[in-house]
């Protein structure tokens, strides 16, 4: 699986603490290797984020993505559960 990063994702990523940034990078690497890995807890979203999916980065941080093609996704947002889902 390949991924792209939106400008929003890049901006939000740049504001994260360095420890969280390292975990985001590790989660994205794992995603490329196996996007269904159980530790990612990938799941479809509803409501405002309908047609998007989420993976766990840490206990509270999530990365939101959408499918571009069957083999390519675009990560569009990164943040805490509260920041993303209100």
For the domain that residue 26 is a member of, what is the CATH number?
3.30.2310.20
- pLDDT by position in tens, the chain (length 86): 899 999 999 999 999 999 999 999 999 999 999 999 999 999 999 999 999 999 999 989 999 999 999 999 999 999 999 999 98
Q: What is the pLDDT of residue 59?
A: 87
Q: How many domains in the chain? A: 1
Q: What is the pLDDT of residue 86?
A: 82
**Structural domain harbouring 13:** 2-85
Q: What is the pLDDT of residue 27?
A: 97
Q: What is the pLDDT of residue 18?
A: 96
| Long-range CB pairs of 5-10, under 8 A, 24+ apart, other chains included | 5/74, 5/75, 6/74, 6/75, 6/76, 6/77, 8/76, 8/77, 9/63, 9/75, 9/76, 9/77, 9/78
Distance between CA atoms of 4 and 68, rounded to whole angstroms? Answer: 9
């Amino acid at each position: 699986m390949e991924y792209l990063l939106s400008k929003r994702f890049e901006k939000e990523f740049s504001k994260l603490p360095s420890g969280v940034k390292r975990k985001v990078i590790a989660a994205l690497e794992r995603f490329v290797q196996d996007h269904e890995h159980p530790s990612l807890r990938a799941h479809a979203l509803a409501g405002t984020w309908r047609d998007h999916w989420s993976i766990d980065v840490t206990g509270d941080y999530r990365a939101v993505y959408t499918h571009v093609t069957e083999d390519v996704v675009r990560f569009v947002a990164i943040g805490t559960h509260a920041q993303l889902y209100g």
